[in-house]
Structure 1
Amino acid sequence: MTSVVLNVTSVTSVTLDGFLQLSDHRLLFFFVCLAAFVFVLFSDFLVVYLVVSRRSLHRPMYMFVAAVLLNSVAASVTVYPKLLSDLSGGGVAHVSRSACLCQAFVLYSLGSSSFMLLAAMAFDRYLSICRPLRYAALASPSAVAALLLLCWLLPACLVGGAALLASRLPLCRSRLDRIHCDIYSFVRLSCGGGAALLSEVYGLLCAAATVFLPAAFVLFSYGRILTICLRRSRTFSSKALHTCLPHLLVFLNYCLCTAFDLLHRRLHTASDPAASVVTSVLVVLVPTVLNPVVYGLKVKEIFTQVKKLLRCQTQG
């Protein structure tokens, strides 16, 4: 019994085995991730700068766009530097329990905030298209600020509870077949029992509150918008759907990445570590890279401001 206790309590760090699957392609992945990180930082900050500095973009829809891109920057800063450091090394990657949970907390919190922000965007578009006479009153600056705080604070509190529960679990294993930490995989390293079951149930409740419910609200809102558009003129419908398209593309991007990750967690076997690596790469790489592309190219007002800024820099 004493030896078992010692083995459990001696697990103070976690090994990210996903890097072993990349041993033959580390250099390629390093440059891909480096290019993605630089692109995300430049493009996201460019769009956020334009939203903040251009008075014509001081509207709720663009404030939510800036918030989503700030989430993307925060997630990138949390993952990419450590990922690049581990890829540049030749051995396996080790991370302490506390650092692993901190990274998992930030990723889960920001990911949940992104879904809630997309729900807030859908609500904003619903008010603008379906309730235009009440839009100015309901989408006031104070209401937008309160909604933004809710979208960030609620996931942080809920995910913080999940991270706290996970931190109290004794670990019987120390190897993750991923390239970054997440709470679900961390809990799976525990010795099981009632505490681990409680942590998993609480995690499902958090996901329901901050991912599944916002996703359902997005689908409901855009369903209502589509119904209204079918009853109006073709010009009105075309303009309304054009403003909603970028948000729908980003929403589908998040949904597909999240669904792929969840299905893999439930269906994968220990004999398929390569799939775990691919999943952990896609969950971080795809949303952070595609978000600024979609908003920069598909949102006409932002794209116009980007062209004006670049034209001024070229002439200068």
Structure 2
Amino acid sequence: MNQHKYLYFTLFFLIYIVTIALNTSLITVVYKKKTLHEPMHIFILAWLFPFCSFAMYLSLTLRLTLCGNNIYKTHCTNFDLIKLSCHDTSVNNIVGILLLGVYMFPQFFVILFSYAQILRICLHASKECRKKALQTCIPHLLTFINYFFAGCFELIQCT
């Protein structure tokens, strides 16, 4: 892994640059095309909110002085960087937990609510409809729950 770190960095940096370029081009198209202004306000706001919160959290991390340089994982998270700091990181931890709550938990509950509504409707549908819905929904729901709890355990390990 260590011998390919520059290749991995370059690959993911290029993906990041392409993502930024595509988002910028989307914003530019919406800005120039007047008919897209009204329906796209929500998307621009949704794009700006994570960008601003990321910038705020990044500025909190950049102010820290690092005392170490070893991260014993295959990937680097912001929490891992914060743990390398010599200074008090309680502000970073509080803001990180708040942002986590703002981003993760509402999405989790909306998705669970959506699946509950689908399953509720299926109870009143035909047997074949219930079977198809369950064959589709249960694997998606189990995968999503697995992903959510894996993310939670990753965060618990970081603290």
**Would the TM-score normalized by the shorter structure come out above 0.5?**
yes
Q: Tell me which residue corresponds to 1:259.
A: 152
Structure 1 residue corresponding to 2:64, chosen from 151, 169, 172: 169
Q: Tell me which residue corresponds to 2:106.
A: 213
For residues 53 and 135 of structure 2, the distance between their equivalents in structure 1, rounded to whole angstroms, comes to 34
Structure 1 residue corresponding to 2:51, chosen from 142, 156, 162: 156
Q: Tell me which residue corresponds to 1:281.
A: none
Contact 1:229/1:237, CA 8 A, preserved across alignment: yes
Once the two structures are TM-superposed, the CA of residue 217 in structure 1 deviates from its matched residue by: 1.7
Q: Tell me which residue corresponds to 2:31.
A: none
Once the two structures are TM-superposed, the CA of residue 239 in structure 1 deviates from its matched residue by: 4.0
Q: Secondary structure at the match of 1:208?
A: helix
Structure 1: state its 5+ residue gaps: 1-18, 31-78, 85-98, 100-105, 107-141, 267-316
| 1:82 lines up with 2:9 in the alignment | yes
Q: Tell me which residue corresponds to 2:122.
A: 229
Output the TM-score relative to the length of structure 2: 0.64
For residues 163 and 214 of structure 1, the distance between their equivalents in structure 2, rounded to whole angstroms, comes to 23
Q: What letter matches 2:76 in structure 1?
A: C
Once the two structures are TM-superposed, the CA of residue 265 in structure 1 deviates from its matched residue by: 2.5
Q: Post-superposition, which runs of at least 4 consecutive aligned residues in structure 1 deviate over 3 A?
A: 145-153, 238-247
Output the TM-score relative to the length of structure 1: 0.36
For residues 42 and 142 of structure 2, the distance between their equivalents in structure 1, rounded to whole angstroms, comes to 22
Structure 2: state its 5+ residue gaps: 17-37
Structure of higher RCO (CA pairs closer than 8 Å, 6+ residues apart): 1
Report the RMSD for the aligned CA atoms in angstroms.
3.4
Alignment of 1:88-237 (within 5 A): 149=44, 152-193=47-88, 196-237=89-130
Once the two structures are TM-superposed, the CA of residue 208 in structure 1 deviates from its matched residue by: 0.3
Q: Tell me which residue corresponds to 2:33.
A: none
Q: What letter matches 1:255 in structure 2?
A: F
For residues 104 and 10 of structure 2, the distance between their equivalents in structure 1, rounded to whole angstroms, comes to 26
Percent of aligned positions that are identical: 32
Once the two structures are TM-superposed, the CA of residue 80 in structure 1 deviates from its matched residue by: 7.3
Paired residue total: 134
For residues 142 and 115 of structure 2, the distance between their equivalents in structure 1, rounded to whole angstroms, comes to 12
In 2 relative to 1, CA 178–83 (structure 1 residues): closer, same or farther, beyond 3 Å? farther
Contact 1:159/1:206, CA 8 A, preserved across alignment: no
For residues 253 and 152 of structure 1, the distance between their equivalents in structure 2, rounded to whole angstroms, comes to 26
